[in-house]
Chain A
């Protein structure tokens, strides 16, 4: 029997029971649709996190103080006060042993309350030097960034992010030239940065930058650094830079075993990897939940096919009496099941893509749809038809023609 006959026959049978066919397909549509939509959402999240981290600077290395050990007591990471401006200068020294780093940005940062007298906000205050701009890929939208001269004389000037400007002065008001108060001290705003986008933790738009020296002496009252950001000369020398800086700091802090180091160095790549693996887990989890609905859809198909086989017992008996072989009966029922799931798969794919497009455009995330998930959905939907259709089809093929013909 020609396969085209079987397919025509299967479509004919499915068309007769429109409602039942529709409902069976719906189960698969929901299953495949949710798998595609949720995986796409996960991938979009992953993409936007990666984009954001990349925007912080691709060749960025960060040195943070390690934990301080007093005898056997080990305090929290970052609590050490051993990282100093001299460390940063030693790394930056062009005659020194570090030759893979392009820019060095010593930083102190802390959350503080900022006020204008009328309004106030709580945000990150970072004490910086001019290289900060290059290391963190910040662009100035209005005014200027902190200059070396501001650092040298511990000037009370500040550069603010657009988020801070909006919070304090409202949208569309020119912040440059205005004054803000940080810890009781008045600062002149000399610049506003361009928006880098993003929200929540690590938002680059919600920061106030002031000269490093001003921050250390006037605001925080400390003489150490909370971090040193480094820009490697290229992506290829990241590991070299990490090693050179590491050994330099070890020597300066008088340790000879790297395990004892009172600082740690991590690269943007490390953060990226962590974030990527977190979101990958998240995507897998979402996909897994959606796969359960696909499984339920598959069981729905099996149920329908079993009902169909019972209902069409007489037909099967007749077909066998007229000369249908087992293989033909199996193919006939299997084809019906695969048509159901395949049609469901195609519709579900379209529904999933549309749903994820709508959700992603509402949240403003980039729309990502992988060819892999589409191919997988098609293969899985056809596969489900075979897996869940096989048992009913075999049950049909095993029917004895006399039993089947006698069936009322």
Chain B
């Protein structure tokens, strides 16, 4: 599903070279739930940008779902992000003053899905994350947890190969964070591949596998024998 081999990312600011990622290799199979952990500055955000096809690596290879994400133009990368990756951001990144339905429909608009189908699918996925009665609410009328659920519905709506979550509970009250993690676990149980970036061990414990990163290198990569299961949402 995801094949990362000898991936490096070097930022050059003036004469100073900063190595954000240093020869990182790993694979993620379909259906896995991987947490990438590390303190801030460890390079985990950079790694997420690479996996999310938001940025190109300096060295190394990245194959996503059989497609080589390399030497691609901005537009080709946009296309890959649209079809294969469902993003869930720490700051939700919903469009302000737009309804939940409108926000969930954005990726489908770019995928040129007809309007009727867009409406049906947006409704279906919003119901799936438990927002059946919030379809017409704008993002500022929703709580943090509800906004993140809208974002999850938006990530799922094009049935992507992987769901890429960057600190998905970072801006959410802890009781709502559990609900979000429950949704991720449910999705994983249904067969979705999830890669989650976090610096909180408590959150990482929900994943089946934990990759530890420090100073741009992989420190450890183990299965999580003590996966913490939370109850599903009401």
Q: Which residues of A does B touch, CB under 8 Å?
A: 1-2, 5, 12, 16, 314-315, 318-328, 400-402, 405
Contacts and interface: CB of A to CB of B under 8 A. Distances in A.
Given A321-B81, A323-B82, A325-B79, A1 B54 contact: no
Given A321-B54, A325-B110, 20 more contacts: A1-B112, A5-B109, A12-B98, A314-B93, A319-B110, A320-B81, A321-B81, A321-B93, A322-B81, A323-B79, A323-B82, A324-B78, A325-B74, A325-B75, A327-B75, A400-B55, A401-B54, A402-B54, A405-B54, A405-B93
A399 to B, nearest CB: 10
Contacts of B109: 1-2, 5
A323 B54 contact: no
B110 A1 contact: yes
A115 B87 CA distance: 97
Contacts of B95: 315, 318
6 contacts: A315-B95, A318-B95, A322-B154, A325-B75, A327-B75, A405-B89
Contact of B75 (A1, A5, A326, A402): A326
B78 A323 contact: yes
Contacts of A318: 93, 95
Nearest to B82: A323
Nearest to A319: B106
A319 B89 CA distance: 13
Which label, helix, strand, loop or mixed, suits the secondary structure of the B interface?
Answer: helix
Contact of B111 (A320, A323, A400): A323
A62 to B, nearest CB: 73
B52 interface: yes
A323 B97 contact: no
A318 B95 CA distance: 9
B145 to A, nearest CB: 19
B107 interface: yes
Nearest to A408: B91
A1 B106 CA distance: 10
Contacts of A327: 75
Contacts of B75: 325-327
Contact of A322 (B74, B107, B112): B107
B52 A321 contact: yes
Interface string B198-210: 0000000000000
B186 interface: no
Interface in B18-72: 49, 52, 54-55
B104 to A, nearest CB: 11
A322 B54 contact: no
B41 to A, nearest CB: 14
A321 B87 contact: yes
A323 B89 contact: no
A319 B111 CA distance: 12
Contacts of B134: none
